[in-house]
Amino acid sequence: MTVPVPTRAARWRRRAIEALILIIVIVGIRVWQQRDVVSGAAPSLAGTLLDGTAYKLSPQRPVLVHFWATWCPVCSAEQGSIQSIAQGDYEVVTVAMQSGSPADVARHMAEQRLDFPVLNDADGRISAAWGVHAVPASFIVDRDGQIRFVEIGYTTEIGLRLRLWLAGW
């Protein structure tokens, strides 16, 4: 008994179906992750940064509000991009979601040689107000205080910079 060899068209059809299923799964996951994420006017964001300075979100230019956690491996992969953007021309404030005490987060920052503004969200109240269930989560807030872009999961530095630039128009 011989096994029929699929035609070239059949192989392409199968690959197209597999790609479509993958896209549907990815879109479904993103929709689920963003189910409660706020849109429109940015919620209040105020508190004391790890360095002791007071912070209040009142954008004069586009701001990257980035939620992350010390225990999140994807967040660790993205930290270099956030560090680079924070040292550039854009305002960046990050929120350490349920990552322990301020001392725990400061120790993590020192170990990773990171130096960007951090609000500690030990109890998850800030994250809940913004509808964040998964990290990393990045919000681009324009100068009018409106959330222009939301990304859940890993985002490239160029992708974040492009969104910040677009929010400045």
Is 129 in contact with 37 (CB distance < 8 Å)? no
Q: The tokens of 41 are what?
A: 């006017």
Which domains are assigned to the chain?
40-167 (3.40.30.10)
Cα distance between residue 98 and residue 104, in whole Å: 11
Predicted TM-score (pTM) of this structure: 0.82
Q: What is the pLDDT of residue 3?
A: 79
Report H helices in 8-101.
Answer: 8-33, 73-86
Q: What percent of the chain has pLDDT over 70?
A: 99
What type of residue sits at position 44?
S
DSSP state of 142: -
Is 94 in contact with 137 (CB distance < 8 Å)? no
Residue 85 has pLDDT above 80, yes or no: yes
Residue 32 has pLDDT above 80, yes or no: no
